[in-house]
Amino acid sequence: MAALILAGAATALGVVAADAIYKSVDAQGRVSYSTTAPVPGSAGTVEALRIRTGTEAPPVGVGQGADAGPAALPSPQQAQQALIQAKAALAQAKVHGEDDWQTTPGGQRVSTLEYDQRVTAAQEKVRELEATLERARKR
């Protein structure tokens, strides 16, 4: 539901993605996300979510560090918009693609280092923008 809300918010803000994420819900109500469309008839409901890739520049002042000064802070609305976009990018970063998996010598399937780094970077961006929004609201 949170991913759907983020995708809807991103769409309302005019955010466009290069790739789709497919949300499917099976007969038991289990939700899954994938970068590839499920086989027709294999899922109860399927929805293509379009969110940005995170390559767009944030509003002026966002992410310029705590010492950038009050003049560099965005408005609370700009900061909120940037945070929504970062959360959408985080949701997309968390989707495992085929290249995001590796098999250990013991046969376990685990995430790659690149996947972990991508998710960590997106999480750090969200934390940074949350702090920026808080500062923008206080000025």
Q: What is the pLDDT of residues 94-118, one digit of tens each?
A: 999 889 999 999 999 999 999 999 9
Q: 10-38 pLDDT, tens per residue?
A: 444 444 444 567 777 777 777 777 777 77
Q: Cβ distance 51 to 91 under 8 Å?
A: yes
Strand partners, 34: 22
Q: Name which of 24-38, 52-66, 70-84 the model is least confident about.
A: 52-66
Q: Cβ distance 24 to 32 under 8 Å?
A: yes
Local structure of 76: helix, strand or coil? helix
Residue 90 has pLDDT above 60, yes or no: yes
pTM score over 0.85: no
Q: Name which of 12, 19, 14, 26 is nearest 91 in CA terms.
A: 19
